[in-house]
Chain A
């Protein structure tokens, strides 16, 4: 199946700093990528839809100024958690839509963020 890579897989940062997470589709072009957040033993909650070359669409209750999403190319979307606080600690997962080949949604391995 298609491969979606996330980096870093885990990161620890101090409160007040910003953290950037990258999501890459390695063997297909993804015009649409999605960012999810998952707390321990809970389900995935969609944060935003990222479309290449345009502004992201955020779900209700997600602060767009706190979670900056950039989808500058067909293979890369980034999520920046700005001024991170301990409550932002979570597992962030991206997915990419392979429209051209399978029409399926492929998930990255996730990025564990811990804010001290």
Chain B
């Protein structure tokens, strides 16, 4: 059972554009929702994370929007740059131990 569904699988955006990635979860016990960025051959790096007590969190060009009732959350990358080209994973976890379930990933390509 895939508990975290991520879309789209891939995304092409022009430099300066907005990249939007969506995730939906099923388990209402999840209360920690991070986004990770992964470059080829490297481990994932934490970008930004949110907990259910807020509906939006912004850090620089990255914004998470969270809809608890719909069990959905999304990542917006503003002013996308070629260096943002990577695979992005959403994840969801519970409070105990931060055991994470990952979405399927989105490959983002930012064209100059």
Contact = CB atoms under 8 A, between A and B. Distances in A.
Interface string B32-67: 001010000111111001000000000000000000
A108 B42 CA distance: 8
Contacts of A22: none
Q: Kindly state the interface size class of chain B when it binds its partner.
A: 20 to 34
B44 A112 contact: no
B98 interface: yes
A93 B45 CA distance: 12
B72 interface: no
Interface SS of chain A: helix, strand, loop or mixed? strand
Contacts of A91: 41
A58 interface: no
Which of A6, A43, A46, A97 has its CB near the most chain B CB atoms (within 10 A)?
A43
Interface of A: 1, 4, 6, 32, 34, 41-46, 49, 91, 93, 95, 97, 103-110, 112
